[in-house]
Structure 1
């Protein structure tokens, strides 16, 4: 037997959870005591009102779940209640309002007990100190008295290593994905050990449904189910430290180049939404229709009961109105009958003859008439007073009936509202179950989540971006490699004569004959007279005329003179001038190479 208990608030949510018939194959409300309402929502609302009115306690409930070991047989209802009574006595909750519910979930029967911690007599909340130790003591005593074996944790061997306790966050992850924490750690550890490069490791993570991101920690693994974990915590290897992972990834995947956790969540959320919408479209909805049919049948019962309540209230109001009318009519009829009787008696006893004459003479008749009128007035005043009292009593009875009916209607509406909350929770549970089954189906036997393909990435540039401060840096990021390329280019020899011939071949000649050697010598010599250059030994080359608006001439061997455009002349350049310019460009390249050497 494994008891789990906690102090908590949120009675309405707890009541909805206890009455969820989808997550549980069987729900039995065994007891609701200490409250006017007979259902959990009403009882917990009463306890919350008492707690807020008498105390400042926020966690006004104490919730206990009792889970027996199925291997040792099921417990009877008497054994469950015996254990609950022992816990109640040990914790000091005797006489407190409580609710007991039995569940059967996946073939496992268990019990839920909820107490109110508020003592209305002392107007204080019962203090529960060392409740888990007391639960452990009660469990040991109960197991010993009933011949049960203690579960792990109650009879732990001190030599055994302590095992980590699964948190609610991890339980929720397993509930949504169908993968436990150990299974997730196993697949990530396998990817870490089998990857020989950072890119291979990141690719393996993507194939398992993880997206590498950065958050409060440099490297986080976001999954396609709205959860993220620090990458070092997913690698089940004590020899692998955080610094090892950072050193392995930061060269090719620096933290500043990774998307943030929010961006990764948005990416995988889009992926998840697309897959779930497709799966929802493929789902024929039979389970949902079946659940809606069960809910409709259950709602029909509650609605019929509410209708019967309203009809009964209408009949009660009609009966009360008829009864009150009959009472008023009976009172009036009694008064009128009494008046007629008295009148008849007076007529029968009225004197006649001499007695009547003497009565009028002596004044006895006048006194008797005044006495009759006085008695009639007293009877009328008494009737009016009795009628006013009756009307007041009837109004009070009608008001009490209306209040009772109003409270009954409010209780019925509250039952309908609670039923709507339970139905909503059941639909949510069905959707979670469907999504979990779809994800397990998508894995197709693989122990990981569906892969994040490249088609799921957002349009435009990828998530791995370079900051503005690195915009003008060389993409090689290594100055040695860049200098090596420059040195290699400078060390290559340049054949100027071949380059000159290639340049001349690309040009269309403007004259019939050109002395290439003379032009090359003139350019190599810098245009100075008396200097020789190149391989030729011709005379000095004439210089350009620098006067504006004048034409200069140059003489060459054989009379092949090319006219050079000076100043602002519009004449096209000669072929020798074009060759000179091309040669100057090649000489500039050669000088740059020599300077690098």
Structure 2
């Protein structure tokens, strides 16, 4: 599994993201451990309230995403096992945590969020070198499951240049761009240039302008409101930027560069790309309708199964309760030890029923994900053929315009 994690605050924003059914076809809150509330947003409020009693941190949550390979059939047990291993490795054992499953484009992935605040000591758990430790665990998980190692793990400890953090993913989403392709675009511009003039020209070919940022030094801008930190997107340090480009003070400010881009017709070029994307969308509309209908059918099937299991669980609970004696017979049942025996039998029966329900949900989910993957492959094949016919440029910004047709990327 690819493991991406960050220490963070703003638990309410995270709760909305994790429960977002617009970007995810199916969302399931599997576990809330160690919290008083059974509501995700309220649980994160509890962690935030504890954080206010500490002095040395404002980031009270540790958020982790677990993404198995595209062709892997990972189960809830796999995610739970990975989460258990991770919390033991990082020193988070016993901390309150939430586990959320997301189904997207026929792929199952998970998010686990721990509270970093130790309620007994009112201090935040320290997580030194957590990225390196997660890399170790990810490497082991790939080998144990027999999955093909991604390029970033083949040479263990060597990160892929296109890896991106949460902030980059959020910015690329606002800009309607694929984060990996956008990062590759900036890195290519950096690699093919050797001074300020050539770097500015390389960015300009891709629709960006080079500007002096308010706080970041060198930044790239386009005709939108986004400002791209070049040290972040190019993957280089600020001193490397200065060594090649000189001082940012000599560059125009953000508003000036953006005005030039608009005057030179970048906005019109972007609208033209959007029009071409709409034309492609109209040609693939039947398959997009089929996707929407399939998602609706799958959601309805899951609701029906949940309702059926709830009704059955209620009846089974009633049957277990009816096994106990009433009135005076209760005294004899207690004294003879029969009541304790019945409790053990009922507990075993309850565990068996819960395991059965879990298997039923996993079987349904696996079947639905197989159907979605097959449809998604058809959609992607059709899109690739249309792109060839349209001779769409191989650029991150043009590809991102039809991102909604090929499905959202996992985050």
TM-score (norm 2): 0.51
2:43 aligned partner: 43
TM superposition shift of 1:205: 6.6
1:262 aligned partner: 255
1:337 aligned partner: none
TM superposition shift of 1:262: 2.6
Report Cα offsets for 1:241-275 as digits up to 9, x if no partner: 999989xxxxxxxx97x743331124446867788
TM superposition shift of 1:8: 1.6
Does structure 1 retain, via aligned residues, the 8 Å contact 2:5–2:65? yes
TM superposition shift of 1:173: 5.8
1:496 aligned partner: none
Matched residue pairs, number? 281
2:28 aligned partner: 28
Aligned pairs for 1:420-435 (under 5 A) are none
CA distance in 2, matches of 1:203, 1:89: 50
Does structure 2 retain, via aligned residues, the 8 Å contact 1:88–1:94? yes
1:164 aligned partner: 161
TM superposition shift of 1:51: 2.3
Does structure 2 retain, via aligned residues, the 8 Å contact 1:93–1:115? yes
Aligned pairs for 1:169-248 (under 5 A) are 171=169, 174-175=172-173, 176=175, 177-178=177-178, 179-184=181-186, 186=188, 208-211=206-209, 222-225=221-224, 226-227=226-227
1:572 aligned partner: none
CA distance in 1, matches of 2:219, 2:127: 40
Aligned pairs for 1:521-532 (under 5 A) are none
Aligned pairs for 1:376-455 (under 5 A) are 445=393, 447=395
Change (3 A) 1:126 1:263: same
2:62 aligned partner: 62
CA distance in 2, matches of 1:111, 1:11: 17
Aligned-partner SS, 2:64: strand
Aligned-partner SS, 2:84: helix
Does structure 2 retain, via aligned residues, the 8 Å contact 1:99–1:114? yes
1:479 aligned partner: none
Aligned-partner SS, 1:262: helix
TM superposition shift of 1:219: 9.0
Uncovered stretches (5+) of structure 1, i.e. residues with no partner: 235-240, 247-254, 295-439, 451-597
CA distance in 1, matches of 2:63, 2:141: 19
TM superposition shift of 1:29: 1.0
CA distance in 1, matches of 2:40, 2:213: 43
CA distance in 2, matches of 1:83, 1:140: 12
Q: How large is the RMSD of aligned CA atoms in angstroms?
A: 5.2
1:79 aligned partner: 78
Aligned-partner SS, 1:28: strand
Aligned-partner SS, 1:27: strand
Aligned-partner SS, 1:53: coil
Change (3 A) 1:172 1:265: farther
CA distance in 2, matches of 1:205, 1:130: 34
Does structure 1 retain, via aligned residues, the 8 Å contact 2:98–2:114? yes
TM superposition shift of 1:210: 3.5
Matched, 1:6 2:6: yes
Change (3 A) 1:267 1:449: farther
CA distance in 2, matches of 1:185, 1:131: 26
2:124 aligned partner: 125
Aligned-partner SS, 1:111: strand
Aligned pairs for 1:351-362 (under 5 A) are none
CA distance in 2, matches of 1:123, 1:6: 21
Uncovered stretches (5+) of structure 2, i.e. residues with no partner: 235-240, 279-284, 297-386, 399-411
The answer to which structure has the higher strand fraction is: 2
Report Cα offsets for 1:483-535 as digits up to 9, x if no partner: xxxxxxxxxxxxxxxxxxxxxxxxxxxxxxxxxxxxxxxxxxxxxxxxxxxxx
- Select the structure of larger CA radius of gyration: 1
Report Cα offsets for 1:184-222 as digits up to 9, x if no partner: 5557988x89xxxx8x99899766424465679999764
Aligned-partner SS, 1:128: coil
Does structure 2 retain, via aligned residues, the 8 Å contact 1:224–1:265? yes
Change (3 A) 1:74 1:259: same
